[in-house]
Amino acid sequence: MKRREFIAGAIAGGTLLSGASQSTWGRKLLSLMPTAEGADSRIEVLTAEPVGTIAPEIYGHFAEHLGAVIYDGIWVGEKSKIPNIAGIRKALVDALLKIKPSVIRWPGGCFADSYDWRDGIGPRDKRPRRTNFWVDAGEWPKDAPDGPWKYDTNEFGTDDFLRFCKLSNAQPYIAANLRSLTAKDFYQWVEYCNSPAGTTTLGDMRSDKDGTKVRYWGVGNESWGCGGNFTPEEYAAEYRRFTAWVPRYGVNLAFVGAGPNGGDLDWTRRFFSKLNERRAFGAMWGWAMHHYSWNVSSGRTTDWRQGKGDAINYSEEEWYELLHEADRIDGMITECWNVMGEFDRTHRVKLVVDEWGAWFKPGSEVNNTHLLGQQSTIRDAILAGQTLDTFHRHADKVGMAAIAQLVNCLQSLFLTHEDKFIVTPTYHVFDMYSVHQGKTALRTVVTSPKPSYTRNGQPATLRGLNGSASLDGKRLVITVTNPDLKATRETEIAVRGASIKSVKGTSLTAIDTHSHNSFADPNQIQPKDANVSLTAGSLVYKFAPASVTRLDIELA
Ligand code: AHR
């Protein structure tokens, strides 16, 4: 029996959520077991063990010219009756401001590698119509009409995106075209965005002369697939060429490389090895992994279409499979980080997860122009919470992330159609969790029974409670998800090195786990105050089944 198996056995099926070094385990194990009567779970926050600052950029978003993300989502047009700010949907901006959207990635995704930024600048009525990357996607809902989602009118271009970011208080993150444009087009796009007014012809074409400068630049997207079908070695050569000379204009440019599909370590190892030949890590700020949770077939298939489930009508098995799929990101982060460190010994390059979320089969979209549009339930909220908690626990590694996608596509925070606008359960999670931004993540050890279910006829389990904690002065925030469909987890919460003065909580649950917010019933799922109090200075909290919780603790 290996040491890790022994430890896992020693805590009676519990779940360890910590990056703690093995030398500290023995000491910690003594305190892992719940001592409060009735409690079956325990959360231990170690105030003396900071993991790192939670980068606000972990709370990023992704807006691609795909289906109704831009047209019908963000962009309604300047002449629209729908309340807008220079053509941008006002309700969206207002709701976004509340959750502090640190960064927004645009224009793709796969779309990025067929986009010519020059098509989207200058007078709107002179901009060309172009065939969208997604025009032939097999997932289009039946009878989807032609429109800007198939033949892009380019009404929404760089200036509009930068305005959207400025209005929303978010930093722009632009994904450049590496497959079908040149390195010159890339550095001229940088020139267009960042050169000071009066210095360059391109800069003078910008509508906001003193506007937001763009620090984050993605050098291609999914270059192993839609972004060019490169080998890692070929992509490394392209990456070096694209980043070899790019003027700074006083901006601390941060280039992000197109990293692996999920846990593809070979892509990372071969790319980093090739980059290392030229010692080129100085030209890379971040390495972007993508991880979608889509296969709920319990191992019956790996087919991209067949493996997906429905967004609303899912079985208990699919519930657990999806959350288990999402939880795999924890190991992927550690493994990818370790491979990066084989070459980038001082870890100059940060890990970026700029596409993550649930991906279901078509059928729950709110309109047939919404390619890859899907509904959201409390299952998606738990997925979002557990993923954000995972990023916090890896605050020393993850420098930026973006959920896919912002509106009307995949695990959206918003659903819109014409003048209708609602927020999804995932939005509420971002609202509950955004307080972690910029705070110090603390090592947090969670032990709880694992939910069990039947997976393709066999008994299976997955991680139980999942959580993280951050500290800001005397203010401690703990966020926790309970994926168990039936069990309430009575949990003893211990804060090592401090005592608790007061506590309050917020919780997101659903009476029916298939329910969802809709245009007709927009508040089916929304957060509520949680029933939590201290008893003689100690904190025991009952995490409801299928819930997301935030505990706001004031330390003495
Ligand atoms: O988010 C949808 C698509 O998923 C993106 O365009 C692409 O990068 C990924 O495969």
Query: What's the CA gap between 420 and 515, in Å, rounded?
Result: 19
Calculate what percentage of the chain has a pLDDT beyond 90. 90
Residues linked to residue 550 through DSSP beta bridges, in sequence order: 479, 506
The arithmetic mean of pLDDT across residues 176-204, rounded, is 97
The candidate with the shortest Cα–Cα distance to 479, out of 527, 524, 522, is: 527
CB 363 within 8 A of CB 290: no
The pTM assigned to this predicted structure is 0.93
Is the pLDDT at 463 greater than 90, yes or no?
yes
Instruction: Give the residue, by CA position, lying nearest to ligand 1 atom 4.
Output: 109
Which of the listed residues 66, 256, 290, 355 should we mutate to test ligand 1's pocket, taking the one with most ligand atoms within 8 A of CB? Answer: 355
- How many angstroms separate the alpha carbon of residue 109 from the centre of ligand 1? 5
Considering the candidates 325, 355, 365, 492, report the single residue annotated as catalytic: 355
Choosing from 115, 133, 290, 365 the residue with most ligand 1 atoms within 8 A of its CB, the one to mutate for a pocket test is 290
Phi, psi at residue 274, to the nearest 5°?
A: -70, -40
* Ligand 1 pocket, residue 404 CB under 6 Å: yes
Report residue 23's pLDDT band, with 50, 70 and 90 as the boundaries: very low
Q: Is 119 exposed, middle or buried (0-12, 13-18, 19+ CB in 10 A)?
A: middle
- Residue located nearest, by CA, to atom 2 of ligand 1: 109
Question: Please, what is the average pLDDT of the chain?
Answer: 93
pLDDT, position 281: 87
Q: What is the pLDDT of residue 8?
A: 31
Q: What six digits make up the tokens of 352?
A: 């970026």
Instruction: Name the band, by pLDDT with cuts 50, 70 and 90, for residue 24.
Output: very low
Contact indicator for 154, 127 with CB cutoff of 8 Å: yes
Q: Peptide bond preceding 405: is omega within 30 degrees of 0, i.e. cis?
A: yes
Residue 533's nearest CA partner among 498, 500, 487, 489 is: 500
482-499 core/surface letters (b: 16 or more CB in 10 A; e: else): bbbeebebbbbbbbeeee
Return the pLDDT at 37: 73
How many CB atoms lie under 10 A from the CB of residue 91?
18
E strands in 100-159 = 103-106, 130-131, 151-152
**Tens digit of pLDDT for each residue in 424-454?**
999 999 999 999 999 999 999 999 999 999 9
Q: Count each helix (H run) and each strand (E run) in the chain, helices first.
A: 12, 26
Is residue 535 scored above 90 in pLDDT?
no
Q: How confident is the model at residue 33 (pLDDT cuts 50, 70, 90)?
A: low
The number of angstroms, rounded, from the C-alpha of 102 to the middle of its chain's C-alpha atoms is 12
Residue 254 CB–ligand 1 contact under 6 Å: no
Nearest CA to ligand 1 atom 5: 109
Report how far apart, in Å, the C-alpha atoms of 316 and of each of 127, 292, 359, 514 are: 49, 20, 17, 11
If you average pLDDT over residues 179-206, what whole number do you get?
97
| pLDDT for 289 beyond 80 | yes
- Tell me the residue length of the chain: 556
SS3 assignment for 253-306: CEEEEEEEECCCHHHHHHHHHHHHHCCHHHHCCEEEEEEEECCCCCCCCCCCCC
Find the range with the poorest average confidence among 55-59, 209-213, 226-230, 394-398: 209-213
Tell me how far the alpha carbon of residue 136 lies from the centroid of ligand 1, in angstroms.
15
Quick check: is 37 catalytic?
Answer: no
Tell me the pLDDT tens digit for each residue of 343-352: 999 999 999 9
Residue of 164, 163, 151, 74 lying closest to 114 (CA atoms): 151
C-alpha 387/C-alpha 385 separation (Å) is 5
